[in-house]
Each structure stands twice: as C-alpha cells, then as structure tokens.
Structure 1
C-alpha cells in the first residue's frame, strides 16, 4: 500500500446487526470501496465478494481487555474470513513505555492472527497521548513482535512512527496524508 487513498467503510456501533453488516458490504461494493470494518462478532460476513477486504477490531475501543481475550476475538474473526485485525493495545503499557508488556501482548496477538492476515496495532484510544519516546517504544515493540502495521491518530504521531519503523517491514497507517504513510479514509 502506498500513499494513495483507499476507502474503508467502518461500522463499529455496538448495536449493529448482521443485516447492517450485509448492507454495509453492499454499499461498499456499489461504491467501489476496498474494505469494510465490522465488529468481530459479525463474522463470517455473508455476500462479501473476494475482492473486498474484510477488517475487524479486537480490544476495541479501550484496549483494556485481557490479551488472551483480544487474541481469541481476533483469531475467531480470522478463522471466519477476516483479512485484517486492528487491535488497541493496553494503553497503560503504552503510557508507561513498557516495551516488554507491549511485546508480550503483540506476540500473543500475532500467534492468533497468522500471516497472511494483517495485524495492525494502535497505541490506544480515549485520551492516551503518548509522547514521542513512548511512541518510539510502541513502534519498537510492534516491529519486534511481528505486527504488520501501526496506526497513527495524527500527523505528528505518523511522523514519529514513520521515523521509528524506517527500514523495517512495518507500515504506518494514518488518517492524514504524509509521504510514505498509508492513508486510510474513513467516511463519516
């Protein structure tokens, strides 16, 4: 994936149903979108063409779930057709810069989400604002533990992450345009 735009339709409302997911798939196909993202409980997705990338989340939105629960959630989705899993790491590990705890969590997830499925990790949600050194520690953990992608929430985060993963196979994904960063467009 390069710096070009891709549209990924996202429906993570806790009340969404299987019928809502089917409608999202139809809408995505009709509009030429490349991916849909729905909760892991809605897999397998019915009527999804092979050309549509199927994405889910684990540990979403807070990241405050036991790593084995996240891994189980992610694994069941992959077994049922998910191509990519976005995981929110425990924000306490990120805030503390605890590389060993982050590596342990990501290794557990990597085992549950074997290649070619993509494992994408995020440093946290809801007010977690790690400084540059903690972002670099997060990226080191992601590289060491075998994640495929890291998610950035801002241009600043994307820049720090891009620098931290330079020369590794890990990709940075961000909602902002930056050279060398995969842009993920999420329509509202």
Structure 2
C-alpha cells in the first residue's frame, strides 16, 4: 500500500455540498475552495446550478436525491435539466424499494431513462459523446448510479451494478450519505469494483472523513471519492 499523497487525493475528489440549508454564498465558497485545493470536481444540489467561475472543475449534481423514490420520468426530466444547467455528471439514486421487490427490469429501466435523458440533453448542447467513466473531464456528460450499498445485501449490490452497466451508466456509487444504514465501506467498494471491472468507475461516498478511510476506499478500487471534508484529509496528509 502506497501512502496517499495530496496530489493523488485531489485527482480523485468530488468536493461535495449537498446540505439542504446551503445558500448561494456557500456554493460560491465551495467552488473557490475546490479550485484552491485543485480537486477534480464539485458536486452540488441541482437547484444550485448553474455554478459560476468553475474554471476547469467538473460540475456534478444529484438526481432523485436522496431517497430515489421518484417516478422515472421525473428523474429523467431532472437529469436533463441539470445537464442544460451545466452539470456534466449526474449522480442518480436507484429506487431501493424496487430492488427490495426484486423488480430488476424496472430498476434497469429507471436507470436507462436517466442515461437516455442525459445523453439527449448533451446532444442538444453539442457536447462530445461519453465514451468511458472519465468522459466528463473532456466535456461529455455521464451518469453515476447511487446504490445506497449499506442498505443492500451483497447479492443486491452485485445485481444493481450489473443492471447499471446494462442500462448504460458510467459509474456506480456507494451512498448518498443521508441513509440511516450508513455510507461507504471498503467491502462494498471492492465488491462493486469486482463486479464492474474496469468498464465502469466506482465512486465511494458517505462518511469518508479521515485519511485512513480515503486510503481504504482507493485501495479497494474506488476511482472517485465524494468528500465534504476534503481539506481536513489534506491537513492529515500534511501532518
């Protein structure tokens, strides 16, 4: 295990602000701080879009957040609007109730609807076609699927990953950070990576507040980290 450096950390970070009470000034501060730290992306609530003065930052948002219990056509419309408003990554929440029902075809269709809406909105804007997990860094628009892994069995995590891939998603993601079952775990990240191989990205998010936790997630196979306390971890690296 190679010790995590500041440069390696920031290259994997979606610096995140999803607190319901966040105001315009908070999002302005988020963007400025993200740029000063040199992180890859910022992730904000859809109502905060469009962001200004983002420079080279990738702009991500959420969809069907945080419950996922939203009609598919509403999720698709929300995702399309987010792309029109400047998002290049849309982190959608699966419908956990449908997973628990074993309605896997409906789960897949729900994801496919958002993927299609994002692709359609991107075409309308003349954006390049997404061709892989990190396509957003070239200006394309991609979809990450939030599984809420702490609320699922291992078997459900595996099948949800398979359905996300079949639906055309570009990433699978552990958690919203809002579910009482908990957030990311290295075990879930490893299982997700094992399932999707190198075909999709894996984002670990939810409760990652220490250098040790960030290191564990990356070692388990995460290609992105959703962090609200990025600076605190950088301070731990600096010692």
After superposition, the CA RMSD in angstroms is: 2.0
Number of residue pairs the alignment of both structures matches: 182
Which of residues 62, 69, 91 is equivalent to 1:64? 69
Give the match for residue 80 of structure 2: 75
Give the match for residue 154 of structure 1: 185
Give the match for residue 225 of structure 2: 184
SS for the counterpart of 1:65 is coil
- Structure with the largest fraction of helix: 2
Describe the superposition over 1:65-101 as per-residue Cα deviations: whole angstroms up to 9, x where unpaired.
1121121111111111111011111111222332201
C-alpha contact (below 8 Å) 2:46/2:62 kept by paired residues: yes
Which of residues 129, 144, 166 is equivalent to 1:120? 144
2:167 is aligned with 1:145:
yes
Which of residues 99, 102, 108 is equivalent to 1:97? 102
CA distance in 2, matches of 1:90, 1:104: 11
Shift of 1:179: 4.8
CA distance in 2, matches of 1:24, 1:16: 10
SS for the counterpart of 2:219 is coil
Describe the superposition over 1:114-172 as per-residue Cα deviations: whole angstroms up to 9, x where unpaired.
132110001137xx6211111111011111100000012211211221222126x2122
Per the normalisation by structure 1, the TM-score is: 0.88
Shift of 1:185: 4.9
Higher relative contact order (CA 8 A, sep 6+): 1
Per the normalisation by structure 2, the TM-score is: 0.70
SS for the counterpart of 1:120 is strand
